[in-house]
Amino acid sequence: MEVVICPERSKATALTARLMADRIAADPGIVLGLATGRTMEEVYARVVEAGVDFSACTTFNLDEYVGLPPDDPRSYAAYMRKHLFDHVTIDPAHTHLPDGMSDDLKAAALIYERTIADAGGIDLQLLGIGVSGHIGFNEPLSALRSRTRDKILTPTTREQNAGMFGGDATAVPKRALTMGVGTILDSRELVLLACGTAKAQVVARAVEGPLTSRISASAIQLHRSCKVILDEEAAAALQDRDYYDFVCRNEEKWDPYRRYL
């Protein structure tokens, strides 16, 4: 794992967008794993602004609420259209989200896993992190080898996501269909982005704490190629921060990205 700490939120989101753009430029037919949430909004805005060409890309989103149709503005399908898909050249047939409207969620989950496999697996998976420690919607005690399935959301997550539901946590769907921790770990590269004070404690637990299903995000410690991009606020509770900065300063591969650091 590499931890990259940027002086401010705008640089952390710009660095994430730039990494994504660079991966697409290097491999236009890349398979991307995408996340939603407030943190990613700025990333997608920058990718759109940069005119990145997604025409040969295939995308798989991490999750979708159960019971919200794709045309519901609060669905993640709608989020993706609003923040990315409507503003870039991408073939809608190559964009995928779990089918939270299926009346057989187990079958929908299996189909999602199979579709990812048929696409050759995910090359680059973007991740945010929830205050509950989730990646995707893998709430505490999600098996570290879990695959796509439906999960009940924690009250903390429903509170965190209430913004899109008029501030009413009880209006947030109780369930989501989400890639599993194992599905996420199968991706060839992970980039986790977290910003803001509210994420500081959970980031420290995910990055430096013990590997535990209580904090699903701690599973990133198992991945061979994982970058954690943080702003100063989200990095505030890390204990070995001096070392992460030292690595970053001395790794030549970060040279093209110095203006974000």
Sheet arrangement for strand 226-231: 2-6, 226-231, 189-194, 124-127, 31-34, 58-61, 95-96
Q: Which position among 63, 113, 150, 186 is part of the footprint of ligand F6R (CB under 6 A)? A: 63
Mind giving me the DSSP string for 112-134? HHHHHHHTT--SEEEE---TTS-
Residues 162-201 binding ligand F6R (CB under 6 A) are none
Angular region, 121: left φ>0, alpha ψ -120 to 50, beta rest: left
Q: Which is nearer to ligand F6R, 116 or 248 (CB)?
A: 116
| Two structure tokens written together for 218 | 């701690």
Q: Does 220 bind ligand F6R (CB under 6 A)?
A: no
Q: Does 36 bind ligand F6R (CB under 6 A)?
A: yes
Cα separation, 243 vs 133, in Å, equals 24
Q: Which is nearer to ligand F6R, 172 or 248 (CB)?
A: 172
Q: Look at residues 32, 179, 37, 173 and name the one whose alpha carbon lies nearest to residue 101.
A: 173
Q: Which position among 10, 37, 143, 164 is part of the footprint of ligand F6R (CB under 6 A)? A: 37
Q: Which position among 98, 100, 128, 180 is part of the footprint of ligand F6R (CB under 6 A)? A: 128
The size of the interface with ligand F6R (CB under 6 A), counted in residues, is 13
Q: Which is nearer to ligand F6R, 37 or 121 (CB)?
A: 37
In the bound state, the residue with its beta carbon closest to ligand F6R is: 128
Residues β-bridged to residue 59: 32, 95
Q: Does 62 bind ligand F6R (CB under 6 A)?
A: yes
| Binding region for ligand F6R (CB under 6 A) | 35-39, 62-63, 128-130, 134-136
